[in-house]
Structure 1
Amino acid sequence: MKDSIIEKKSFDFALYVIEIYKELSSEKKEYVLSKQFLRAGTSIGANVVEGEEAQSKKDFIAKMSIALKEACETRYWIKLLSCSQYLDTYNSDGLSKRCEEIIRILRSIIKSCKEKQVN
């Protein structure tokens, strides 16, 4: 089965998050904020995959909503790491752009599914 767009984008984003986490922990010696960033950033895709195997529409929407919450939390950690100068502008901009795209896609998926439930 072919991966969905959101599954691919969230997986690729998780790989980017892991790459940045390795840099933050080894080069910058930042462990606390970066660990939160790692957890939130990699859990987006995990929740998407769970949602794609959901037992019902309601379960699917719930999992996608959790993925959205994790994406929003990740956005917060990106901003905090950037403002505290642990992330350079290049990585901050790249992460932010990808994260915002994932947030938009997840919001669209959730909205579409909720509309279909009503109709």
Structure 2
Amino acid sequence: MNSDKKFDLEDRLVCFAADIVFFCKDMPSDMTGQYYGNQLLRPGGSSALNFGEAQGTNSDKDYINKVSITLKELKESRVNLRILDRVKYVGNSMRSKLLNEVEQLVRIIATIIKNKKQ
């Protein structure tokens, strides 16, 4: 049962990464869109990739390290989305959806790390 939850979370991270791609594709190609789009694509996709890597680790220490990188990338995505939200830059409903999802993912991953350290 526990491994099913990991795959559900992995699916959520993959969906988040895909939604980031769609969101960034719709950004204007002005200076702001290029800068924040590029900055958002990297951590948005990396969070899912690092979580996938964590599933293949051989020790709790390595698992915590990979999942901690996932958390770092999600937090970077969150700040980027908050900046875009603050300036009301494109995609109001999608931006809100992404902000909500990243907040939930940050909480989930932080809890996983906390529990694994105990």
Q: TM > 0.5 between the two?
A: yes
Amino acid in structure 2 at the alignment position of 1:21: C
**Which residue is 1:19 aligned to?**
22
Amino acid in structure 1 at the alignment position of 2:46: S
Answer yes or no: is the 8 Å Cα contact 2:23–2:91 preserved in 1. Answer: no
Is residue 2:39 matched to residue 1:36? yes
SS in 2 for 1:15: helix
In structure 1, stretches of 5+ residues that fail to align are none
Worse-superposed segment, 66-75 or 88-97: 88-97
**Which residue is 1:63 aligned to?**
66
Is residue 2:101 matched to residue 1:89? no
Answer yes or no: is the 8 Å Cα contact 1:74–1:99 preserved in 2. Answer: yes
TM-score of the two chains, using structure 1 as the length reference: 0.88
SS in 2 for 1:4: helix
CA RMSD of aligned residues (A): 1.5
Answer yes or no: is the 8 Å Cα contact 2:47–2:74 preserved in 1. Answer: yes
Amino acid in structure 2 at the alignment position of 1:22: K
Instruction: Tell me how far apart the structure 1 counterparts of residues 79 and 35 of structure 2 sit (CA, whole Å).
Output: 14
**Which residue is 2:52 aligned to?**
49
Instruction: Tell me how far apart the structure 1 counterparts of residues 80 and 42 of structure 2 sit (CA, whole Å).
Output: 10
Instruction: Tell me how far apart the structure 2 counterparts of residues 113 and 17 of structure 1 sit (CA, whole Å).
Output: 28
Q: How many residues align?
A: 112
Give the C-alpha shift of residue 107 in structure 1.
0.7
